[in-house]
Amino acid sequence: MISSINSDETKSSETDSSNDEKSRESFLESVEGLAIRQKSSSSDSTGVRSTDLPGISIDNYPEVESTERTVKKIDELKSIISAIESRPSIPAEINLDKTYRINYRNELNPSQLEAVTTINGPVLVIAGAGSGKTRVIVYRVAFMMENGINPDDILLLTFTRKAAREMLGRVQQLLKDNAAQKVFGGTFHAFSNHILRKYANMLNIPVNFTIIDEEDSADTIDLIRSELKIEKKERAFPRKNRIQEIISSARNRNLTIRDVIENEFSGLREFVEQIELINRGYEKYKKICKIFDYDDLMDVLRDSLRDNPGFRRRLQNEYKYIMVDEYQDTNIIQKEIVEYLSEESRNILVVGDDSQSIYSFRGANYENILRFPQKYPECKVIKIEENYRSNQKILDFTNDIILNAKIGYKKHLWSKIVYEAVPQVRKFYDQESEAEFVVDKILEYREKGIDLSQIAVLVRAFWHARYIELELNKRSIPYIAVGGLKFNERKHVKDVISYLRIIQNPYDAVAWHRVLKYLPGVGQVTAGKIIQKILTDKGMDIDTFEKSKFGDSLKNLTAMIDRAKDHNITIPQKIEFIKDYYTPLLQAREYDYQVRLLDINVLVDLSSKYDSLEKFLTEFALDPPSRNFGTRTVPLIDESEDNPLTVSTIH
């Protein structure tokens, strides 16, 4: 936070602990009122348990002891699902008498056809893995448009912008109609950003707010901690990323910070009050600086829908048909947004698989998909079980896993694909044994004539691959690792984006803190004073700092920003101005500055597709480029002999 504490208070706080509390109070008061409101039963001599059978014995996986609360919740969910499963089956009434551009009966299997042609009322589609759920969404949008539904009335919420773009692109190809692009398709965050900016005046929020990512959020939290004099030297005080995780988890799950710490981080109980204090400062800080983090986009939209009836009615009239992909990965806030939007029309279709929830670490609540019929008792439940990706032996293996699940919708995946490959499950007691086995298998395939480039090692998170990488290096096997530092996470890229954010929003203190650190003689305290002056005076007064040792540098910085602010200058030109200013700063700090400058050239190219700086910054924050700078080749074998294999995260 830009502290209102003067230098005398700061000095005295270093020697008088009682003043720490006063400083905290001063900080909070200065922004008062501004808050936005296993253990296996058998193993071989190597410590490896294996099975080649398409099934699992649950005896080898003892159940975790359940609490009374958990048992009660499981029983409740079982009851909900049992009631749905026991409902009498109603034959689908599919009327395709009129002439359509698409032959839906020929293009879809019976379950898919039922989901596509049921366009009114709530619909829950349980789509097993590889069953063509994307096809269902694509053809359903097309079917709705062919039945006269205005594409402007359709809202398609997905978990990646790419997915929505591809779906609507396929609709356009099917219908040969550009009107499909009028459908709003995108992520929850992109939709929230669109709505909040569109109705900013109605909701009393700044239209030019900037969006900070998780790293910036953590840095901001660390700044707040510093301003509040919560010293890192205190015993085991959590790091900024942990605090950010706790705060975000509480918001995404409608819990208090105390609840999250008690349930998941019990070792941090003694810091509950301090983390709550940091959170209050963080919320007020964002309000002053006109910045939103990812969670704000969800929270503000949900709160506005809940508390503003006029706004809620307007959106309900705007989006009369709603579809949500991967519903099992939604969190509580997202579920509530969908429920408010569909409250009037009740024309909502959600697609998902309760057996595939992967975002619990982000607050995703798989109960949302299980409880959907509880919220919409009249909903139609359609199961899509034909698999187009795997053979029946693999599906039998999967069906065994699903069968042993305590809760979930009954489903039996089946396939017409015939080939003999079956999955293997191997259990290891240490990572070294696992890595040795994987690399042995790779070399075995290589001896059989399979090129390394046709082999991939997939991991959930990249740190899981460390032992495998060590083993690959030890045996001189070339590989490409995919899943490291993303383009938008590179320091120099974030620096350039920070300059652009200041141009867009001069009150973005997070961005100011990042760029001011390059000025000689400017540390965190001095940067705070400069930013305080910017916020107080609603602009930069160079004369105030003219005689300081960083005066000339600050003057050069503001001159560059003023020049780049010119509305007649394109975004690529703005970045070129920034690059000219930033290059000597980068050169003084980084030995590989020339390589890093190439990344800035990529930014120039990316920005050329946009005529709005706000749109470029928003999409860069919400849907950053997929280029992955963690990719690397380890050429320990002559690459003329072997192409590298791939080690990658699943995502």
pLDDT at 541: 65
Has residue 632 got a pLDDT over 80?
Answer: no
pLDDT, residue 542, reads 64
Question: Do the domain assignments include residue 38?
Answer: no
The CATH number of the domain where 477 resides is what? 3.40.50.300
| pLDDT bucket at 10, cuts 50 / 70 / 90 | very low
* pLDDT score at 539: 63
User: With a threshold of 0.75, does the pTM exceed it?
Assistant: yes
Domain boundaries, position 311 = 68-196+297-390
Residues 237 and 381 in one domain: no
What's the count of helices (H) and strands (E) in the chain, helices before strands? 28, 16
Count the Cβ atoms, other than its own, within 10 Å of residue 418.
8
Q: pLDDT for 190-203, tens place per residue?
A: 999 999 999 999 99
* pLDDT for the residue 17: 45
Confidence of residue 548 (pLDDT cuts 50, 70, 90): confident
Q: Tell how strand 479-482 and strand 632-633 pair up.
A: antiparallel
User: So what's the pLDDT on residue 480?
Assistant: 84
Token digits for 124?
């829950």
Please, are residues 114 and 95 in contact by the beta-carbon 8 Å criterion? no
Residue 41 lies inside a defined structural domain of this protein: no
Over 50: is that where the pLDDT of 15 sits? Answer: no
Residue 548 DSSP symbol: S
78/285: higher pLDDT? 285
- Which residue do the tokens 């070294």 mark? 432
Residue 135: count of CB within 10 angstroms of its CB: 20
**Tell me: the pLDDT tens digits for 473-523?**
888 888 887 766 677 888 999 999 999 999 999 999 999 999 999 998 888
Beta strands 386-387 and 414-415, pairing class: parallel
pLDDT tens for 82-105 read 888 888 777 677 778 788 999 999
Question: What is the pLDDT averaged over residues 123-149?
Answer: 94
What DSSP string runs through 441-458? HHHHHHHTT--GGG-EEE
- pLDDT higher at 538 or 30: 538
Calculate mean pLDDT across residues 511-536: 88
Which pLDDT band holds residue 540 (cuts at 50, 70, 90)? Answer: low
- Region 381-407: mean pLDDT is 86
Q: What is the pLDDT of residue 47?
A: 40
Which pLDDT score, from 0 to 100, does residue 13 have? 39
Are residue 602 and residue 544 in the same domain, yes or no? yes
Tell me: do 432 and 557 sit in the same domain. Answer: no
Q: Are residues 183 and 305 in the same domain?
A: yes
* Model pLDDT, residue 5: 30
Count of structural domains within the chain: 4
Q: Are residues 523 and 574 in the same domain?
A: yes
465 and 540 co-located in one domain: no
pLDDT band per the 50, 70, 90 thresholds, residue 81: confident
- pLDDT grade, residue 129 (50/70/90)? confident
Q: In terms of domains, do 224 and 266 share one? A: yes
**594 and 503 in a common domain:** yes
Q: Encode pLDDT of 197-229 as tens digits.
A: 999 999 999 999 999 999 999 999 999 998 888
Work out the burial of residue 221: count CB atoms within 10 Å of its CB; fewer than 13 is exposed, 13-18 middle, 19 or more buried.
Answer: buried
Q: For residue 349, what pLDDT is reported?
A: 98
Q: Are residues 78 and 180 in the same domain?
A: yes
pLDDT at 6: 35
What count of other Cβ atoms lies within 10 Å of the Cβ of residue 317? 11
Task: Please say whether the beta carbons of 601 and 576 come within 8 A.
Answer: no
| Residue 524 predicted with pLDDT over 50 | yes
Structure-token pair, residue 109: 């299997």
Average pLDDT over the chain, rounded to an integer = 83
**In whole angstroms, what separates CA 275 from the centre of its chain?**
23
Most confident of 108-112, 262-266, 480-484: 108-112
- 188 and 81 in one domain? yes
DSSP three-state, residue 633: strand
* Percentage above 70 pLDDT, the chain: 83
Same domain? 146 vs 225? no
409 in any annotated domain: no
Q: Dump the DSSP string for 38-61.
A: ---S---TTS-EEE-SSS--GGGS
Question: Does 466 lie in the same domain as 570?
Answer: no
Q: Which amino acid is at 546?
A: E
Q: Check whether 411 has a pLDDT greater than 70.
A: yes
For range 447-475, the mean pLDDT = 85
Lowest model confidence (mean pLDDT) among 47-51, 469-473, 586-590: 47-51
Left (φ > 0), alpha (ψ -120 to 50) or beta: where does 396 sit?
alpha
